[in-house]
Amino acid sequence: MAEHLTEHIVFNKPKIELHVHLDGAIRVETILDVAERRGITLPACTVKEMTHICVVHQPATLTEFLGKFTEYMHIIAGDREAIKRIAYEFVEDKAKEGVIYVEVRYSPHFLANTDVEPIPWNQKEGDLSPDEVVRLVNQGLADGEKAFNIIARSILCCMRHMPSWSMGVVELCKKYKKDGVVAIDLAGDESLNCEAYPGHRMAYEEAERCGVHRTVHAGEVGPASVVKEAVEVLKAERIGHGYNTLEDQVLYKQLLEQNMHFEVCPISSKLTGACDPDFTKHPVITFRKDKANYSLNTDDPLIFNSTLHLDYSTAQKYMGFTEEEFKRLNINSANSSFLPEKEKKDLVNKLYEAYGMVENTGF
Ligand SMILES: O=c1[nH]cnc2c1ncn2[C@H]1C[C@H](O)[C@@H](CO)O1
């Protein structure tokens, strides 16, 4: 996209990222490598050609955007080495962007080829279960943490169109709570299935009962009622995107009072058609003016051909964001992370120190 050419680093300080999909953040080189090793033919053989295939170039719809995953997920899914590798490389890429704490999300079922019904991406049945996928990602993230000196935690996604997977997802969240899995999410096509099915509701009830943190994609392209349901029924503690909350001012004011965290993804919101392509009209400008609690995130940097720097420079260039606001939103992000309290406090203090601020004299 054009902005890429003028991208520069506008906030070269430690950052927090809370909303990024592992399977939307894979290196194109890795897709090509793995395809070659596995003997899978791709419609492209250079990074440039493959990038062109994977990327959304013009504002599209969420449904069209989600279709991009079918271009490459069959390459990575079902392959132990590839799954560990994408997790490790993800941590390296985030460290290079100056991220010191990241929560990365994915659907374990989408990367498996057994114990999952239906088996995704037209794979043949194999022997890689969603449970083992989580262990492999955990291993890749842990190796990356050691190598690149950042903290990486994970969030497991339920998918809107697959309520039958959701109880399995929450069980994995419980099982791997001590192993870096910090929360459950509900992702997928909100424009097709906006009401949470019983399968999702039961999984979120179980999550709440067991102290598993909860975030939900809501109000990205769906109406404010999806956000309301996420908060009131699914007991979401954070909202993925949440732009359309602004359509219901009563709800919005209530969420401002509750200090609800919105995981905002500027570049994503343009290319999925969630928001007006004119960034000067973006909902995060209202969030900022109202001193709402939100983060800035990439969402799916592979498919948007973007970096976290691009989201920040876009916020600065078109939305009037300042260095002070970048600091404020990162401190809010750290405070809204799903880390245990003590670790969260340490993270917040790290930011205060890096930003040359004394705690509590801030905003
Ligand atoms: O922006 C998004 N909205 C809804 N679902 C999404 C978005 N980005 C990625 N996903 C889906 C596709 C991925 O395969 C899945 C798990 O990461 O989550």
**pLDDT tens per residue across span 28-61:** 999 999 999 999 999 999 999 999 999 999 999 9
CA distance 236 to 176: 20
pLDDT at res. 195: 72
Separation of CA 159 and ligand 1 centre (Å)? 8
Choosing from 22, 23, 61 the residue with most ligand 1 atoms within 8 A of its CB, the one to mutate for a pocket test is 23
220 is catalytic: yes
139 alpha carbon – ligand 1 mean position (Å): 22
Say if CB 243 and CB 274 are below 8 A apart. yes
Q: Please tell me the predicted confidence (pLDDT) of residue 3.
A: 45
pLDDT at 360: 58
For ligand 1, pick from 19, 21, 110 the residue to mutate: most ligand atoms within 8 Å of CB: 21
One-letter amino acid for residue 64 of the chain: E
Instruction: List, in sequence order, every beta strand (DSSP E) within 134-199.
Output: 151-159, 181-187
Any atom of ligand 1 within 6 Å of the Cβ of 24? yes
Q: What gap in Å lies between CA 71 and CA 42, rounded to an integer?
A: 9
* pLDDT of the residue at 201: 96
Residues of the chain with pLDDT under 50: 1-3, 5-6
Radius of gyration of the CA atoms of the chain, in A: 19
State if residue 157 touches ligand 1 by the CB under 6 angstroms criterion: yes
User: ipTM of this predicted complex?
Assistant: 0.99
Q: What are phi and psi of 185, to 5 degrees?
A: -135, 160
* Residue in 20, 64, 66 to alter for ligand 1 test, most ligand atoms within 8 A of Cβ: 66
As a whole number of angstroms, the distance between CA 165 and CA 162 comes to 6
Tell me the two tokens of residue 206.
């179980």
Residue nearest to atom 11 of ligand 1 (CA): 188
Q: Catalytic: which of 206, 220, 229, 237?
A: 220
Is ligand 1 within 6 A of the CB of residue 185?
A: no
CB 71 within 8 A of CB 53: yes
Q: Are 214 and 174 in contact (CB under 8 A)?
A: no
Residue 291's pLDDT is: 98
Give the Cα-Cα-Cα angle 208, 338, 86 (nearest 5 degrees): 110
Structural domains in the chain?
A: 15-355 (3.20.20.140)
Q: How far is CA 336 from CA 11, 133, 307, 322, 346, in A?
A: 20, 27, 22, 21, 13
Q: What's the confidence (pLDDT) of residue 361?
A: 52
